[in-house]
Amino acid sequence: AQSVTQLGSHVSVSEGALVLLRCNYSSSVPPYLFWYVQYPNQGLQLLLKYTSAATLVKGINGFEAEFKKSETSFHLTKPSAHMSDAAEYFCAVSKRGTYKYIFGTGTRLKVLA
Amino acid sequence: DAGVIQSPRHEVTEMGQEVTLRCKPISGHNSLFWYRQTMMRGLELLIYFNNNVPIDDSGMPEDRFSAKMPNASFSTLKIQPSEPRDSAVYFCASSPGYANEKLFFGSGTQLSVL
């Protein structure tokens, strides 16, 4: 069975500081991995997607994530936080060839001025 | 493209009433998903349609919930009768393919059952 664990339901960073949101997955087969962002009162939007083409995946808004098989991790990073990055972030895993996504419980990012 | 359109944005109803949530997927997308989001359970898949056919409804909580997709541009999720524990945000999402595709989410319907 597949699962996703997001460490830290709330993360606070100062504006301009590094953003690191943690995601660990469990999958018996090579997975597809995703990061989605949800702004208040909106639906989820895709930030980036890992499909095995490259271990470092670049997404929108300056975010990137690195797939580390040995650590079963897919952490999301951004070098410098902006106030506009304040939102909830969801990691998700999907088994290749299927429509099912398993979403993590989300991490709410707060950016301090 | 207008994106996935859901209506209403907010619904407040009393226990026992029928509730119908509506969704218009992105034109050309052949997969449609209904999700429910709550603080306790996070995002749960309720039902998945492919080419207007329900493929997986194993996430539908009970018989009070039903979903239809009469054509490629419209889907409904109905709760009858509604209960307070159904209060949640219900999202519709569509995608262009069957597997591992990017999901495009609507803005959701905030349902409150009193």
**The pLDDT value given to residue A111:** 97
Q: Over the stretch B42-61, which tens digit does the pLDDT of each residue have?
A: 899 999 999 999 999 999 98
Contacts of B56 in chain A (CB under 8 A): 99-100
Q: What is the pLDDT of residues A70-106, one digit of tens each?
A: 999 999 999 999 999 999 999 999 988 888 899 999 9
CB contact under 8 A, B99 and A98: yes
Average pLDDT rounded to a whole number, residues B92-108: 90
Note the maximum CA span of chain B.
Answer: 38
Establish whether the linkage from the previous residue to B8 is cis, with ω within 30° of 0. Answer: yes
Which tokens in the block code for residue B74? 């419209």
Q: Could you tell me if B55 lies within 8 Å of chain A, comparing CB atoms?
A: yes
- Cβ <8 Å between A101 and B105: no
pLDDT in tens, A13-29: 999 999 999 999 998 78
> pLDDT for A37-80, tens place per residue?
999 888 999 999 998 878 899 999 999 999 999 999 999 999 99
Contact criterion met (CB < 8 Å) for B106 and A97: no
Q: Residue A9 and residue A53: Cα distance in Å, rounded?
A: 29
In sequence order, what are the beta bridge partners of B100?
Answer: none
